[in-house]
Each structure stands twice: as C-alpha cells, then as structure tokens.
Structure 1
Amino acid sequence: MLALKFGGHLFQAETIARLLGKTICQHRDSGTNMPALLCPVPLSRQRLISRGFNQAMEIARPISRLLAIPLYSDLLWRLKDTLPQSQLHPDQRHRNVQSAFSIHPDLVHLIDGQNVGIIDDVMTTGTTLNEIAKLLKRYGAARVSNFVFARTVRQ
C-alpha cells in the first residue's frame, strides 16, 4: 500500500483491487446485497495535484470492472483540504473531516434508495467513511457499503 500511495507504483493498484475484489465477491456469493454503484473516497484538489493520482480511484477502477458495478468518480467531492487523518489524534479526526465532503448536484439522483459502495485504501478509525456515509444517507442512500484494503491497528 505504501508503494502505491507514496511511491507512485500505480501497478500495485491492480493487485490490491484483485485481492479486495475477491473478498467482495465472497460476500456476494454468501447473499450479501451488493452496491448499485461504486465511488472512491475523493482527495482534495491540492493533494491530488501533489500526489498526481487518487489511490482510492486507482483501486476502484479495476474493482468496478471485476464486479460489473458502475463507478462514479465524481459522485463525491472533497470541499476541504483536510490534514491526513493518520497524523491526528482520534479526538481531532471528526472535526478534521466534518463538512469536508459534498455530493455532485447532477448525480444526487443516482443514490436515492441505493446501496452505494465506497472504495478506500486504508481505514484508521473509520471517521472519514462515517462522514461520507452520513452524507450519502442524508441524500437518500438506503445503505452504504465501505470497502477498504487495509485497516490500521488501534494503539
């Protein structure tokens, strides 16, 4: 994950997506309700320019193809250039991402009554994913499914 995210080794995204996609398929085979659409966690404009790519998007593309679920990369917008969550104390993380996201006004209709799948690379405390889920549900999503490749260990 570090090679992809910080080293720019984009070819790693395909391997990560294959592994995550395999796990998602196991849930589908067990009868779990699959998302109607997928969306990567967006980066701020500044971080996207700095990094040159969104690692969540690079993972989401092959997962979308593998699962035959449409990918909407512009569904979510990041409004604020937040600090990296991994650098913050757990008490500061909620404030950091509060009101940081918005939904593209032309795509709101896609989420009404749907299960929306959110793709991210790493989950630390889940604060970012919870903030996104609350936003999507406020706009009518029936369910939000979070798919992450890795989870950090709580200290």
Structure 2
Amino acid sequence: MPAKCLSGLSPRSLTPWGHIGLPKWAGLCAMCGRWQTQPVCRACQQSWRIELPRCKRCALPWPDAIQADSCTACEARQPEFDRAITALDYLPPWSSLISRFKFQRASSMQGHFVELMADAVRQRPHRVDLILPVPLSAHRLAERGYNQAWLLAKGLGRVLRRPATDQALVRTRSTPRLMALDSEERLRAIHGAFQVTPKWDARLRGRHIALVDDVLTTGATLDEISRLLRRHHVAGISAWVLARTPPPDTEASPPSGPGDQGWR
C-alpha cells in the first residue's frame, strides 16, 4: 500500500488502531511534523528532493550531463573512483536530517535513507561485487558508538542483494574533522589513513567495489581509499553517497507541496 500522510490524525486518534494494523512505522514526519507512515512523508520528499542532471564521475549538478560524462571540475582533476551516485544534495532540510542521523543516533532514518540511495543506484545499473563502508577510526567509533556509513552499506547490501562487509578496510589513525578543512588540508590529513585488512588482501583482486559514505564534499576520503583499492588490484570502484555537497552558490528552493506548512 503506498505511503500517505495522516495529516488529519492526532496521536490520541491513532492509539486505538494498534490492534488492527497500524503501519509498521508511524509517527511525525521529520520535516513537516505531520502524522504519516514514513520518517519523511511523501509530500515532503516530492517538495525537497530535486532531480537534477549530474556529472557521472563526481555527481555534481551538471546541466550538460546528457552530452558529457564528466564536468569541468572532473576535467581539471579526475576522481580516483569510476563513478559517483548520490541520492540527495547536502542542503537544508536534508543536511539537518543527515546530521541527526550521523551524530544523534537518529536510527529511524536509516531505512529511509537506504531506500533513497538504492533508488538512485538502480537508475544507473553497473556491476558491483562487494559493498564497503568508509571506516571510522577506533577513537571516533568508540565516541559515536556506530559507523553511519556501515549502517547505510549494510542496508544497501540487504536491499540490493549484494554482499557487504565492514571488515575489509580499517582507518589506521584519527584525523581532524574534515568538514572544517579546505581541500588541500583534507588531502594532507587523510593521506595514508586507511589500510586493507590482511584477511581481505587477496580477496579484493578483480572485484568491482562500491564505497559507501554519507556525504561527498571534496572527494578526498573516497579518493584516498580508491587509490588504496587500486593498489590491491580491484577492477572497478563506485562511490555511493547519501548526499553530495553542491557548489557554494547553490541554495535550497522553498517547497511547493503541502509539506511546507510545518517546516521551520
């Protein structure tokens, strides 16, 4: 049954429904605050998820994507991975929800984000033998309690029926929070920060890998891991990300659907 907003219902009116089949997920839409059957209601998805032509290499919005596979940024500096696929632009209100998912244990968003990513991947069919998350350092993992990239990768493996593991890559040291660094500082900070585990050393050879992360900004992290995987003779590398940071002059447009009434 397609998801729909339950905007006319209050929590009290929902209570008696529990014994006759209330949808598996029912609560407040994270954007508009209305009662509905998904973490983000269908109206808000349609209002805020803007489909744009994108560069096939780096996933930046690119008006000439139909005529050219790579944008001018990629022509100036080619990414180390073969393709990038994103579900969203890292703009409000999605950026706020992703931050909650990443830093505040908003686990209810996991399934929704996985479905958005899986839908984007299905639109660009390509071979994938193994799904790997970008790893966290031991310190950051202990601090946060979970790796959001692994939650996404594991969910994608289940939905797309591809093997996924968080045991092939390790982050050998902590780095400064890359969001606060410029592109050159990110390159220096991330250099040599990853390794392939001995168990997977030979098992990656000839495989087509999908690297999963939550946000792609400069690509420094994904490039560093891609260089590492190339040294281990993988056959292809795809970057699957939940959101792509757009050029700095890009702004979110106000929603036009019914979901705009509750967003602050």
TM-score range with shorter-chain normalisation? over 0.9
The TM-score with structure 1 as length reference comes to 0.94
Residue in structure 1 matching 2:197, options 101, 104, 109: 104
**Which amino acid counterpart does residue 142 of structure 1 have in structure 2?**
A
The aligned residue for residue 62 of structure 1 is 155
The aligned residue for residue 2 of structure 1 is 99
**Residues 73-93 of structure 1: per-residue CA shift (max 9 Å, x gap):** 111000010112111121101
The aligned residue for residue 213 of structure 2 is 120
**Which amino acid counterpart does residue 2 of structure 1 have in structure 2?**
S
The aligned residue for residue 135 of structure 1 is 228
Relative to structure 2, which stretch is displaced further, 104-113 or 139-148?
A: 104-113
Aligned structure 1 segments of 4 or more residues deviating by more than 4 angstroms? none
**Residues 49-96 of structure 1: per-residue CA shift (max 9 Å, x gap):** 111110001111110011111011111000010112111121101011
**Residues 98-141 of structure 1: per-residue CA shift (max 9 Å, x gap):** 00000011112221011111000001100000000000011110
The aligned residue for residue 79 of structure 1 is 172
The aligned residue for residue 18 of structure 1 is 115
The aligned residue for residue 90 of structure 2 is none
CA distance in 2, matches of 1:109, 1:10: 34
CA RMSD in angstroms, aligned pairs only: 0.9
CA distance in 2, matches of 1:109, 1:37: 14
CA distance in 1, matches of 2:245, 2:229: 24
**CA shift for structure 1 position 154:** 3.3
**Which amino acid counterpart does residue 129 of structure 1 have in structure 2?**
L
CA distance in 1, matches of 2:150, 2:163: 13
- Structure 2 unmatched ranges of 5 or more: 1-97, 249-264
CA distance in 1, matches of 2:137, 2:110: 20
SS in 2 for 1:110: coil
CA distance in 1, matches of 2:110, 2:133: 13
The aligned residue for residue 146 of structure 2 is 53
Query: Would you tell me which structure has more helix in proportion to its own residues?
Result: 1
CA distance in 1, matches of 2:203, 2:146: 25
Kindly name which structure, 1 or 2, has the bigger radius of gyration based on alpha carbons. 2
**CA shift for structure 1 position 42:** 0.2
How many residue pairs are counted as aligned between the two chains? 151
